[in-house]
Amino acid sequence: MENTIVNIRRKDDQFHTQAGWLDSRHSFSFGHHYDPSNTHHGLLLVSNDDVIRAGTGFDTHPHRDMEIVTWVLDGEVEHKDSQGNKGIIYPGLAQRMSAGTGIWHSEMNNSGTKDVHLVQMWVTPDTDSIKPSYEQLDINPELAKGGLVPIASGRGHNAAITIRQKGAVLWGGRLKAGEVVRVPEAKFAHVYVAGGSVDLEGAGTLKSGDAVRLAGAGRPKLTADSKTGAEVLIWEMADELVEA
């Protein structure tokens, strides 16, 4: 099947929030940034690339009926929630919070000197009003093997945190210079370049912060830059959100 490029979203064209303590780029409508034609892709509603300044963070706030995955690229962030969960999230530690019937949480950068850089992603659950829950898992050993690794899965993949959405899998890779992988075949896919740069078959060169939305695209090749390599996050999704 020929590649179908739905949309290439360059870093500089994304919604941008600058709040002093936070520098965030949003792949989709978020907060006061709203575009009715850009609310989701497949089951993915939020993909935020956040830099949180030292000694600051997101104070306690609520969520409901959402699967929230946090992936740290640099630095550390502390998670606390109303279910009594607490943990330090660092690069290679996958974290999932199922908001379910309702949960309050905070995400704080407790370092006095170093910013934290992370990507936070939200997908809809396949069942509403579940009991809130939390999971984290260090997958650095899997990432070190190369290729794409399941980070968060609704399909029972080994070495992945579990999300309550059987139609979605998040894959990640720390690709070495020149390494080639293929985007998983899916009805919908979202490719995000978290670091370095890649060449995506049918889309050309993508740099850090760029995203591509695919639909029915088959398994296009993704080639990491021959000098820098790349870190990528790819959502494989079997369905699309139906908004009321």
Which pLDDT band, with edges at 50, 70 and 90, does 229 fall under? very high
**pLDDT per position as a tens digit, 100-124:** 999 999 999 999 999 999 999 999 9
Residue 22 pLDDT greater than 90, yes or no: yes
Predicted local confidence at residue 162, as pLDDT: 96
Residue 116 has a pLDDT of 98
Q: How confident is the model at residue 1 (pLDDT cuts 50, 70, 90)?
A: very low
Q: Distance (Å, rounded) from C-alpha 85 to C-alpha 82?
A: 7
Cβ atoms 183, 227 nearer than 8 A: no
**Could you tell me where the beta strands, DSSP code E, fall in 186-244?**
188-200, 204-207, 211-215, 221-224, 230-237
Query: How do residues 169-217 score in pLDDT, each as one tens digit?
Result: 999 999 999 999 999 999 999 999 999 999 999 899 999 999 999 999 9
Residues 187, 168 contacting (CB under 8 angstroms): no
Please tell me the number of Cα atoms within 13 Å of 57 on its side-chain side. 24
Query: For the whole model, what pTM was predicted?
Result: 0.95
Kindly state the DSSP code that residue 11 receives in the 8-state scheme: G
Question: What would the two tokens of residue 68 be?
Answer: 């929230």
pLDDT of 160 > 90? The answer is no
What letter does residue 25 receive in the DSSP assignment?
Answer: E
